[in-house]
Structure 1
Amino acid sequence: MSTKSKIFILDTNVILHDHKCIYNFKDNDVIVPIVVLEELDKFKKGTDQIHYQAREFVRNLNEIAGEQLFNEGVSLGEKRGKLFVATGKPFTQAMEDSFFEKSADHRILAIALYVKEKFAGRTVTLITKDINLRMKAKSLGLKSEDYTTDQVKDIDVLDRGVQIIDNFDTTIIDTLYNSDGVAEGAFPQQDLPANQFFVLRNGNKSVLATYDPFSKSIKRVEKQGAFGIEPRNAEQTFALSALSNPDIKLVSLTGKAGTGKTLLALASALQQNKSYKQILLARPIVSLANRDLGFLPGDVNEKIGPYMQPLFDNLSVIKHGHGIKSRENVMIEEMQRDNQLMITPLAYIRGRSLSDVFFIVDEAQNLTPHEVKTVITRAGAGTKIIFTGDIEQIDSPYLDKTSNGLAYMTEKMKGQDIFAHVNLIKGERSYLAELASDLL
């Protein structure tokens, strides 16, 4: 080992989050405790993203592993450090006094303490996405940090999808209300993000507008409904504008519960059903209270039913807006029967190439950045992908506001011509739901 570089010890959850993580520590050395390999062995079989990450890491480790992996380490490449696998170490007296169980986490701590003592002149840091393990490490005098490589640097980007400008030039506001609804040079010498939305107002005059990156002009956004669903505020109007714009292929809708994210996306998809071969609604299955699908009774369809129910609820809202025997409801039932409208767990999408599909991914705040990338790279010609979610309601134990895939994707895609983002603020489900969301 180099005497100058740092040493990073990885927890299992870091690898399950990003199987390429060992390459993201520059010229510093990386240690994978043997217990981590033991834990990864439990994740090699399965269809979820963590199972994929485990398999890919093990395959990669097999390719680079040599006889020195447990001794002198193997190089991770030019201008990178070395990779080591550390075997189990005895508990120190401090650990014996604090932790009675020799769990996987505690065995990782034992290895980290051994490395810290052996290489006293170097900075040793345990990298884990487990907050509780970080606290345990610090109680033993170990430096511990979260894995931050793919974390959002500017979380406020989620709030900048819509910009409100007061005292705006009334001449330009009047121009935007002309028949063509276009204003050239409205923001002279400003580099505007593509598909940025604006509320431009001055006194009793106001207009909703957006910057069109293709014509490089400001355009008025007209209030328009979709499949019987009417926008109730400016943000919903902007959302429907982005959802119905064929030039925008990727949309992120964020906001608290009840703001209409999924409902608007589904209504817009149904409105444009003739433009796409299929409408897909998917959401990740995140088990609550440590109960996965195996705890639920019935076959696979009955097991996934409770997880998919919120999507069916949104579809019911749209159907109830029309008559029972209406043309719209008949069309929806025919689309479901012919698999032109499908509601499915996100894991079932793996390996598919999606062409001419309107693809809605609900609860995207529970996805890792790598999972979001995997979804987007499924997109074939003519496909439009919508991610919806609330970063205040993350169910995954190893994700937070800055590390979830929805926020990461929004930050990275901001400013791209085919991307638009809207943060929905006002709850429209009911006054009760809005009150509970704000106060409880």
Structure 2
Amino acid sequence: MKKVYVIDTNVFLQDPRAIFQFEDNEVVIPAVVLEEIDSKKRYMDEIGRNARQFSRMLDRLRNQGKLHEGIPLENGGTVRVELNHRSLQYLKETFIEVTNDNRILAVAMNLQSELQASDPAKKVIIVSKDALVRVKADALGIVAEDFLSDRVTEYDNIYKGKLYQEVSKDVLNQFYENQELPVSILEKERLYPHQFIVLKDALGTPASAVAKVDETGKLVKPFAKEPEHVWGIKPRNVEQKMALELLLREDIPLVTLTGKAGTGKTLLSLAAGLLQTEDMGRYNKLLVARPVVPMGKDIGFLPGEKEEKLRPWMQPVFDNLEYLFNTKKPGELDQILAGMGSIQVEALTYIRGRSIPDQFIIIDEAQNLTKHEVKTILTRVGEGSKIVFMGDPAQIDHPYLDELNNGLAYVVEMFKDQAISGHVKLEKGERSGLAQLAADLL
């Protein structure tokens, strides 16, 4: 039985092509949704871009017929703009205020009342990214769903880049003797290129080994021998060793790191970048960028030149650089960076239109990027460059993103089976005992 999906505005602002995700069912767009999208189309950000793309797509559909009567889609469904069923008569008994959310709920409620009389088997479902809209719909007896088509994977299936596996003592001995193992001996689930495996003795003895799937995905080999320290930084746990292995490999131009606050993502990336830029000369420049997304209320416009405006947003990067350079006096880091000239700290606002060859690029707080933004960044990377995306998907400040549809998760999932990329999730905090406890408890 076909269903009727009433779509909230935030769905189209997240995915402008969402109308094509409902198979052969009927998609209803309340008129108020067009008004809300019209108010967003002048925004010079991802929301504005999606609003404009949705508007142009509807305009093209208009050439096929009248939108208020319904237009067939390629997948067998239909889409229409609902001009009627706007009465708030029944809704006012529960929700008195006339808001855009309540107007969308009224459309769904009135459609449901009409169908109960004419076609009781046909179900009306409201689709919204707004949790409270779904709660209110449920209170009104309307089926409500989140829009899940933009999620890259299920919650429990997010790729971690590592796994732990128990093997026999004979397999461990074979690994130590031959310095490799065929994946077929280990595989209980699919393994990906550059995936890390911690081998443990199935009998419970202390014998173990840390290995990595090679670029072909067919062999498991030991780590490359890592340096004793990287710009004074020594890995404190096996996950940090995994991260450094990926960061220092020239044949892996794309690295993604996820983990809670304090797991060492930024510090390790900066140390690896400085080593390969300043000491090894592998790259011409170290470029560090992060999205300008505030946590909590925005602090408004800032005075000064571009560098002065960016300083508060980029301060976490400068904090790590001060630690690496062991600076003690105010202004000392600025003098060092000015003298070196090979370290550039930028906001991602300025990356569009650039081509970035022969650079070590670090994108911090990448969980606040959309899928479109990470595509824009990756298509800027030139020959001879290496790019590192890192962040904590559990700490998202963007209003339309969550743990499963953000740009960082998108890159991790889409590139996990590519030989040119590597990923690891860092789980053990090393900032301080307090920071680790706060990350776990809060």
Q: Return the TM-score normalized by structure 1.
A: 0.86
CA shift in 2, pair 1:158/1:331, >3 Å? farther
2:114 to 115, 118, 123: 118
In structure 2, do the counterparts of structure 1 residues 195 and 133 end up closer, same or farther at CA, with 3 Å as the change threshold?
Answer: same
How far apart, in 1, do the equivalents of 2:329 and 2:217 lie? 41
Structure 1 segment 41-80 matched on structure 2, within 5 A: 41-66=38-63, 68-76=65-73, 78-80=74-76
**Quick check: 1:35–1:88 contact (8 Å CA) kept in 2?**
no
Tell me what 1:408 maps to: 410
Equivalents in 1 of 2:302, 2:383: separation in Å? 39
Give 1:434 deviation, angstroms.
1.6
> What is the CA RMSD across the aligned residues, in angstroms?
3.0
- Asked if 1 retains the 8 angstrom alpha-carbon contact of 2:68 and 2:83, the reply is no
Is 1:253–1:421's contact at 8 Å kept on the other side of the alignment? yes
Distance 1:325 1:111 in 2: 60
Conserved 8 A contact 2:40-2:51:
yes
Instruction: Report the AA paired with residue 10 of structure 2.
Output: N
Deviations 1:249-305 (A, max 9, x none): 22221111100111111221222223334433222233344x346x34425745543
**Cα distance in 2, alignment partners of residues 304 and 126 from structure 1:** 41
SS in 2 for 1:188: helix
1:69–1:325: structure 2 CA closer, same or farther, 3 Å change rule?
closer
> Structure 2 vs 1, CA of residues 75 and 299 (structure 1 numbering), >3 Å: closer, same or farther?
farther
Q: In the TM superposition, what whole-angstrom CA distance separates every residue of 1:91-136 from its partner, at most 9, and x where no partner exists? A: 4334213323222211211222233233443222211111111111
CA separation of 1:101/1:434 partners in 2, compared to 1, >3 Å: closer, same or farther? same
Query: Deviation of residue 217 (structure 1)?
Result: 2.9
AA aligned opposite 1:104: N
Tell me the residue number matched to 1:38: 35
Match of 1:364 in 2: 366
Alignment of 1:349-388 (within 5 A): 349-388=351-390
Is residue 333 from structure 1 mapped to residue 311 from structure 2 by the alignment?
no
Confirm or deny: 8 A CA contact 1:68 1:74 kept in the other structure: yes
Whole-angstrom distance in 2 between the partners of 1:104 and 1:287? 26
How much has 1:234 moved relative to structure 2?
Answer: 0.5
**Equivalent pair of 2:370/2:401 in contact (CA under 8 Å):** yes
Which stretch of the first structure deviates more once superposed, 203-212 or 164-173?
164-173
Is 1:105 aligned with 2:101?
yes
Unmatched tracts of structure 2, length 5 or more: none
Alignment of 1:8-407 (within 5 A): 8-66=5-63, 68-76=65-73, 78-87=74-83, 89-120=85-116, 121=119, 122-158=122-158, 160-166=160-166, 167-168=168-169, 169-175=171-177, 182-185=179-182, 187-188=184-185, 190=187, 192-202=191-201, 203-214=205-216, 216-221=218-223, 222-224=225-227, 225-273=229-277, 274-289=281-296, 291-292=297-298, 295-299=300-304, 301=306, 302-320=308-326, 332-335=337-340, 337=341, 340-407=342-409
Aligned counterpart for 1:419 among listed residues 414, 418, 421: 421
Q: What is the distance in 1 between the residues matched to 2:146 and 2:215?
A: 37
Is 2:159–2:413's contact at 8 Å kept on the other side of the alignment?
A: no
Decide whether the 8 Å contact of 2:163 with 2:197 is kept in 1.
yes
For residues 340-386 of structure 1, give each alpha carbon's deviation from its aligned partner in whole angstroms, at most 9, with x where no partner exists.
Answer: 43323323323434333332222222233343333333333333322
CA distance in 1, matches of 2:219, 2:336: 38
C-alpha separation in 2, matches of 1:99 and 1:330: 60
Kept in 2: contact 1:18–1:370 (CA 8 A): no
Alignment check: 8 A CA contact 2:251 2:420 kept: yes
Amino acid at match of 1:313: D
The code of the aligned residue for 1:211 comes to V
Deviation at 1:44, TM superposition (A): 2.0
Unaligned runs of 5+ in 1: 177-181
Matched residue count: 425
% identity of equivalent residues: 41
Instruction: After TM superposition, give the deviation of residue 139 of structure 1 in Å.
Output: 1.2
Which amino acid in the other structure matches residue 97 of structure 1? E
Q: What are the superposed Cα offsets for residues 24-74 of structure 1, whole Å, 9 maximum, x if unpaired?
A: 222222222222222222222233211211122222222222384343222
Distance 1:439 1:71, change over 3 A: closer
Per-residue deviation, 1:149: 0.8
2:436 to 428, 434, 437: 434
Deviation, structure 1 residue 173: 4.4
| Structure 1 position 152, deviation (Å) | 3.6
